[in-house]
Amino acid sequence: MFKDAWGFSKLDQYRSCPAKFCYSFIKKIPSPGSPAMERGSKMHENIESYLNGWVTDLIPDVENWKEALDDLKTKDFKAEQALGFDKDWALLPDWFGKQTWLRVKMDASYIEGDKGKAIDFKSGKYRIPSTEQIELYAIGLHAANPTLVEVTAEFWFLDTGEIYERMYKAEMLMTLRKKFERAVAPLYTDEVFEPTPSNECRWCNFSKTKGGPCKY
């Protein structure tokens, strides 16, 4: 059974294919990276270093975001903020602690008065992001700062220059917590982790055709 903390990527993968989730997060079978993943990591690392003042230049892939990043630097921002919560949505001092139930990591966030903003940087083509992923960022920032009355969550698409945003009132975020509690419950009770075969199997590193442990 799964006993670790969850996050959006884990929940999303479990609902897509419980077996793939099991191989990745319970049996911890490593998967090879890809050039796209390596490129995205370099872009994120450069932005984090730039925001924190560790470097003064942006790499070519993200230099078009200099004005927006410079504006962000004028805020009381936090870069690569890692938040851990217990089952009561209380913020914990250590997101790797034994009580940690949920982990949320934001690329950047800041608070102005009673309003907060959470930002996630995305590389690659623009695609309408998961509503639940952006909800969870907003919930996390609000749970860490419960006096906020409003939270806006944004996805910055680094390659296309587009920004996708959603705004949530505090009351809505409290309601959304219940939705995620229900959604994640099966993850902790599943003892079988059956595969759900689909067209996605052809790209799965755990598939039978790729020499993986899955029967499909």
Instruction: Tell me the per-residue pLDDT of 19-69, one tens digit each, with 9 for 90 and over.
Output: 999 999 999 999 887 898 999 999 999 999 999 999 999 999 999 999 999
pLDDT exceeds 80 at position 128: no
User: Residue 173 — φ and ψ, nearest 5°?
Assistant: -65, -35
pLDDT exceeds 90 at position 172: yes
Residue type, 20: K
- CATH label, 8-210, candidates 1.20.1250, 2.60.120, 3.90.320, 1.10.10: 3.90.320
CA distances to 49, 91, 109, 111 from 147, in Å: 30, 13, 16, 11
Predicted model pTM: 0.93
CA-to-CA distance for 30 and 87, rounded, in angstroms? Answer: 28
CA-to-CA distance for 97 and 103, rounded, in angstroms? Answer: 11
pLDDT exceeds 80 at position 126: no
Q: Per-residue pLDDT averaged across 8-13, rounded?
A: 95
All structural domains of the chain with their residue ranges: 8-210
Range from 28-32, 82-86, 99-103, 104-108 carrying the lowest mean pLDDT: 28-32
Instruction: Specify the residue for token string 């796209």.
Output: 36
Percent helix, strand, coil in the chain, to 5, is: 40, 20, 40
- CB contact at 8 A, 181 and 88: no
| Mean pLDDT, rounded, of the chain | 94
